[in-house]
Chain A
Amino acid sequence: MQIAHDILLRSYRSMRTIRDFEERLHVEFATGDIPGFVHLYCGEEASAVGVCAHLSNTDTIASTHRGHGHCIAKGVGVDGMMAEIYGRKTGVCHGKGGSMHIADLSLGMLGANGIVGGGPPLICGAALSHKVLKDGGVAVAFYGDGASNEGTTLESLNLAMVWQLPAVFVCEDNGYGEATGASYACAGTQKARAAGFGMPYFDCDGTDFFAVHEAAGQAIAHARAGHGPVMLHVHLARWYGHFEGDAMTYRANGEAARERAEHDCLQNFRKHVTETSLLDLSALDDIDTSVKDEIEAAVKAAKNAPLPEPADLQADVYVSY
């Protein structure tokens, strides 16, 4: 599939933004300035971006506790995200949600989710909205290999098939649910699970943007055309621990470093566009510089942003009460 020039540039920018955002959080979290839990998406950028390249604001996604990448790929601004992660009033959720609950429904971003397997049922509902309201939208659930074992996920695969929903189930298989390997925790295969529900299955290398873009394009087109739900199984690896501060004692020495050295989606992207003469590297270098500045500014603004006020504690529990 030929990808338009502007989409390539936008996708690279999005992946670079996720990478720099997360790498910066890794550094900032260690200083102790960031409260709570942070789960980084480094190494998985091509998945969120390759899928979301096919989506517009009419389409809906639900994310996971490892959600920063999905948010950025769906268009949520890094200023609001960074401020949210710092617990500031200027955050996208006014400091009420934090890293695990970033959402922007106006962009079709139904939220990161602190509950493993929380997203797939919600996405059945979002897909039902698209179907009933006939707006042409599709709904995409990102979930991990860990969440693939939740009953909510398996029930959602069934429900989506029964109702023939325009839903896409993107299983981001990074090989670990917290500190337990997928080889231990997942019986059978994702492919066989999809087949068990009669659901079309696609898979791809999640460190190759072009592979994700191609597979996601086919999967989403199937759902958008009204042919029912699909599963997209994305193989990838996370470079950091389950959460920041995780010493990764369950991973062999050098595993994460090797992934970083050999399967970097950004390096893969640069290599691919150079070899195929799709883009000029200087354009990518310019993006790198611009993103660096953007993240720097976001961190600075977040650190200087006002904290929530006491009155915010009891605001927005209900629309009316």
Chain B
Amino acid sequence: MAKGNVGSAGIYLGALSKTLFHASWANQYLALLRADPNLSADAEVHRVRCLSLDKDYPTLSLPKEKVLSLLLEKNSQNRMAFEYLIAWYLLNKQLGKFVSNIERLRDFGYIELPTHYEEAALIYVYSAGKGVALGGYQSSPTLRRQIEDFSRILRGYGADKRAAFNDLARNYRDTYFFYYIYANPGFEK
């Protein structure tokens, strides 16, 4: 429906109209398609069209960072694309790219940094060894204490990750600090 392929949409809706739970929704859209094949007045279809790429970028697979960046280039207010892009950077420990996008969080209504974002930002700040602007966001004293404690425990084992594992897991296994040290995403660059 979003792509304007009325014929295909009609067949999928026709199949849905024969199901128990989606029949009324499908019949409603079938009627809408008959009245307005372009669905120009449908808010959801309009929303999806505003988010869709206009330009063709053929790929052999789905390069996540590239596709998400293109989606944001098309529509900078695409919240889902932005959050997936940030998640991609965090999963891949690309903290430089993450920090460079931190200011954009305000565009999406983030009043404060989510905990894992803040933890990732602190890792970047502590690694850089100098002050880094976090788009006006303040880090909490609790998290600063935690990263210092985390670093102290790790140093106590001579930075031996394997030896420090149990101690760190006891209090920090649900933190991005722990993920950053121990996780192996398998697809990092």
Query: Do chains A and B stick together as partners?
Result: no
Interface residues of A (CB under 8 A from B): none
Interface residues of B (CB under 8 A from A): none
